[in-house]
Structure 1
Amino acid sequence: MAHSGTTLILIMSIAVLAPLLAYGVSRWLPVPLVIFEIVLGVLVGPDVLGWAHSTDVVDVLSELGLAMLIFLAGYEIQFAQVKGDTLKRSVWAWVAALALGLGLGLLLSGGGFDKGVYIGTALTSTALGTILPVLRDSGDLQSRFGSVMMAMGAVGEFGPIIAMALLLSGRAPGQSAALLIGFAVLTAAAVFWAMRPKPPWFARVIAKTLHSSAQFAVRLVVLILVAFLALSEVLGLDVLLGAFAAGLITRLVLHGAAPESSEVVLSKVEAMGFGFLVPLFFVVTGIEFDLAALLGGGRVLLLLPVFLLLFLVVRGLPMWLLAPRDLGRRDRSALVLFGSTALPLVVAITTLGVQEGKLGSGEAAALVGAGMVSVLVFPLVGLRLRAGSGDGSGAGSGAAGPGSGSGDAGRMVSEEEAW
C-alpha cells in the first residue's frame, strides 16, 4: 500500500505540474495538456527514472479515469446536431474506415486475426474529447464545420467500441450481436425514462442540493455511470460501451429535468473527472508506456510514422470522400486532420490488446506514440486551414489558435483539455 501511496503522490504531482508547463509552452505553441501528462508519466516510469510503477490500486483508479473520459465524451454528443444526412455520411465514412483499417491491420499483423482487429479498430478512432475543446475555443464548434465534425467524431468514438464488442469478445458473432441488441434495448429503455417529463420535485431537489453536502445530481450521475458499467460487465461487453451510453443518458436526464442546473452539475462532474481521474489515467498511460521497446530500433520504431500516416489514410480518406458537399476543400482537409486525431481509444484498445496477449508491447507503444503525435500536430494544422477558409470562423476570428496571445493560452490549459 505504501508503494501505491508513493506512486499516487507522484501521479498527482504530475497532474499539478502539467498545466503549469502547458501554460508556459502555450505562449509559443498550444500543446494539449494530455501530452505533458503522458510524457511526464514516461519520465517517472520504469523505463526512465524508475520512480513510479503500476500497482493494483493505481490500475483500478486508472480504469475509472478511462471510464470517466469516455462518459464525458458521450455527454458531449448534441443530438440536435448529430442527425440526418450528416449522420448517415458519418456512419458510412466510419464503416469504410473499418473495412480499410481491418485490411491493413491484418496485413501489418502478418495475418493474425486478433492482432489485426486491434490495430484496425485503433486506426478508425477519433479523439472527440480532445478536439471539442479546441473547436470550442476557436469558435468553430457552432459552425457548419463544427456540426459535421461533431457527427464524424461521435461515430469515431462510438464505432470502435461497438467493433471491439463484436469482434474481440471471444464469442460467436451471433452471440455477441444478441448481447449488443440486449444492451441496446436496455439503453433504449433508459433513454425513454430520461426523456419522460420528471415530477417538479426532481428539479427542486437538484437545485436545492446543488451547493450543499447532499449533491443529489452529482450522486445521480455517478449512479448512472456505475450502473451502465455494471450492465456492460454483466453482459460481457466492454465497459467503455457502458461509459459512453451513460454519458448520453445523463445528458438527456439533466437537460430534460433541470436545464437551468445542468451546466453547474456538469462542471462539478468535470471537476471530479478532469481534476483527478482523467489525468491519473493519462499519467498511468505514460508510466506503462513501453519506451524501451519503441526506442529499441528496428520495426517497432518504423511503425510509429507508418501508423501516423495510416490514421490519415484509414480514418481521413473516407471522411474526405463522404463529407457533405457544402464543405470546401480547406474545410474537408481540416475535417480529415481533426477526424484523424486519436489517442484515448487508441490507449484503451492497445491496453486491452497487451493484457489479452494479442498485441505486442512494442506495437502498442508505436500506436500510442503515433496517437500522441496526432494530438500534438493534426489539430494545430487543422486550425491553420480553418483560419484560411474564409468563412469568418475558426482560429482566424480571434479565437484560440496557434498564434493567439496569452489570454487564449490560459484557456488552452483548462481542465477540459485533458481529453
Structure 2
Amino acid sequence: MAEQLVTLVTVVFGAAVMPLAARRLSVPSAALEIVYGMVLFNTVLASQPEWFELLKELGLIYLMFIAGMELSLRELQSSGRVLRYVLIPLPAFVVMPPLLHLMGLPWYLGVVLAMISAGIVIPVLKESSLLQRPLGRDILGVALAGELISILVLTLLDIFHHYGLTPHALLELLKLVALLGLAALALKLLYLAAWWHPNHVARVMRSEDPTEEGIRLVISVAFAGGLAAYAAGVEPILGSFMGGVIFSHVFKSKGRFEDKINAIGFGFLTPFFFIGVGAAFDPALLGSPQTVLLALGLTVLLLVAKLLPLLPARLFGLRGTEACGMGLLLAAPLSLLVVAGTLGQKMGLLSPSLNGMLVLTAVLASILFPMLFRLLAPRLKQDRPD
C-alpha cells in the first residue's frame, strides 16, 4: 500500500508542478509531463501499477472528448471559408504516406505527420494577440478542419485494420455512424428538455452547484461515447472525440461550465496520459545518434507537410510571411501526434521504437515551432492589421 501511495503522490506532484515550469519556459505543459514521466519511471520508480494504466487510458479518452469540444462546427460553417480550410490540410494526407514509404519508413508515419490539432494553436494565438485578427481566425479554421479530418482518417484506418476492405467494414462504419446519430439525438432531446426547464439547467450549470450535476453528466457523455465506439468495433478515443463534437454542437453556450470540464481534464485526468507516454518511452533511444537524427528528420518533415499546401499562398489569400506563420503553428499537433502514435502501436502499424521516435518528434515540434511562431508574430500583426 505504501508503494502505491508513493507512486500516486509523485505522479500527482509532477502533474501539479509541470504547468508552473512550462509557463516559465513558454512550452506546452504536456511536453514537460512526457519528460517527467520518462525520468520518473526510468530512475525513481521501478514499475507502473495497474491502476496507473487504467488512469492513463481514462485520461486519453477524456482528452479526446475535450479536443472534440474545441471543434466548433458552427464556427467553421459561419466562416464562409470551409472549402478553403478543408483544402489546406488534405494534400499532406495524399503526399506524406507514399513519401515516407519511399524513404523505407512505415506509411502510417506519413499519415501521422499530416495530422493537425488545435490543442496548441488556440493558446499560442491568444498569447500572441492574434486570435481575433483575420489571420488568427484563418489559422484556427484550418486547425479545426484539419483536426476533424485527422480523426476521420484515424477512424477509417482503425476500421480497415480490423476488417480490411470488406462488406463487414462498411457495416461496422454504418454501425458507428448510427450510434453517433443516436448519441446526437439523445443530446438534442436533452437540449430540448433543458429548453423547457431553464431553471433546472441554470442550477446545474452554475459554478456554485454543490453536487456538480452538470460535470457528472459531461463525464458520463465522454465515456459513453467511448463505449459506443467500442461497441461499433473501433477505438474508444474516436467515439469520445465525436461525443465532444456533438456535445459542443448541441450546447452552444457553456460559459464557465466549460472551464470546469477543462479543469477536470487538464487538472487531473490527462496528465496521467502524458506522464504515462513518457513512462513508456525507452531512454536508450536517446543514446542512439541514428534515432535522434531520425526524430529530427521527422520534425523537419512535419513542418514540410504543413508548409507544402501553403506554397501557393496567394490562392488562399495569404501573404508569404502569413503562410510561413500558419505552417509553423500547425506543425505542432502534440496531443494528436502522441495519440496517433499510441493508436498505431496498438494496431501494429508502428513498432515501440518508432512510436518512441514519434513521441520525441512531438516534443521537439511542440517546443521549437511555437517558439519560432512567437518570434514571427510581430511581423504577422503588421502584415494584416485589424
- 1:388 aligns with one of 379, 382, 386: 379
Instruction: Indicate conservation of the 8 Å contact 2:89/2:116, yes or no.
Output: no
- 2:229 aligns with one of 232, 236, 253: 232
For the residues of structure 2 that align with 1:372 and 1:116, how far apart are their CA atoms?
21
Q: 1:4, CA displacement in angstroms? A: 4.2
1:292 paired with 2:284, answer yes
More helix by share: 2
State the match for 2:63 in structure 1: 69
TM-score by length of 2: 0.88
For the residues of structure 1 that align with 2:286 and 2:230, how far apart are their CA atoms?
33
Instruction: Indicate conservation of the 8 Å contact 1:166/1:177, yes or no.
Output: no
TM-score by length of 1: 0.82
Distance 1:307 1:267, change over 3 A: same
The alignment yields a C-alpha RMSD, in angstroms, of 2.6
- Give the unaligned 5+ runs of structure 1: 398-419
Instruction: Indicate conservation of the 8 Å contact 1:74/1:245, yes or no.
Output: yes
Map 1:98-113 → 2, pairs under 5 A = 98-109=93-104
State the match for 2:219 in structure 1: 222
- Give the unaligned 5+ runs of structure 2: none
Q: 1:61, CA displacement in angstroms? A: 0.8
Q: 1:360, CA displacement in angstroms? A: 2.3
For the residues of structure 2 that align with 1:279 and 1:187, how far apart are their CA atoms?
28
1:316 paired with 2:307, answer yes
Distance 1:377 1:323, change over 3 A: farther
Distance 1:69 1:354, change over 3 A: same
Secondary structure class of the residue paired with 1:170: helix
State the match for 1:277 in structure 2: 269
Distance 1:323 1:225, change over 3 A: farther
State the match for 2:128 in structure 1: 138
Q: What is the aligned-residue identity percentage?
A: 26
Instruction: Indicate conservation of the 8 Å contact 1:320/1:336, yes or no.
Output: no
State the match for 1:17 in structure 2: 17
Map 1:77-96 → 2, pairs under 5 A = 77-83=71-77, 86-96=81-91
Instruction: Indicate conservation of the 8 Å contact 1:37/1:286, yes or no.
Output: yes
State the match for 1:38 in structure 2: 34
- 1:206 aligns with one of 177, 201, 204: 201
Letter in 1 for 2:198: A
For the residues of structure 1 that align with 2:6 and 2:59, how far apart are their CA atoms?
19
Q: 1:252, CA displacement in angstroms? A: 2.6
Instruction: Indicate conservation of the 8 Å contact 1:68/1:277, yes or no.
Output: yes
For the residues of structure 2 that align with 1:378 and 1:350, how far apart are their CA atoms?
20
1:264 paired with 2:256, answer yes
Q: 1:275, CA displacement in angstroms? A: 0.8
CA distances 1:243-290 after superposition (whole Å, capped 9, x unpaired): 2111112213332xxx3xx21211111111111011221111111112
Letter in 2 for 1:349: A
- 1:353 aligns with one of 341, 344, 352: 344
Distance 1:5 1:31, change over 3 A: same
Q: 1:173, CA displacement in angstroms? A: 2.8
Instruction: Indicate conservation of the 8 Å contact 1:19/1:33, yes or no.
Output: yes
Report the more deviating stretch, 266-275 or 120-129: 120-129
For the residues of structure 2 that align with 1:81 and 1:225, how far apart are their CA atoms?
22
State the match for 2:164 in structure 1: 172
CA distances 1:172-209 after superposition (whole Å, capped 9, x unpaired): 23443443343234434544554576244543222223
State the match for 1:370 in structure 2: 361
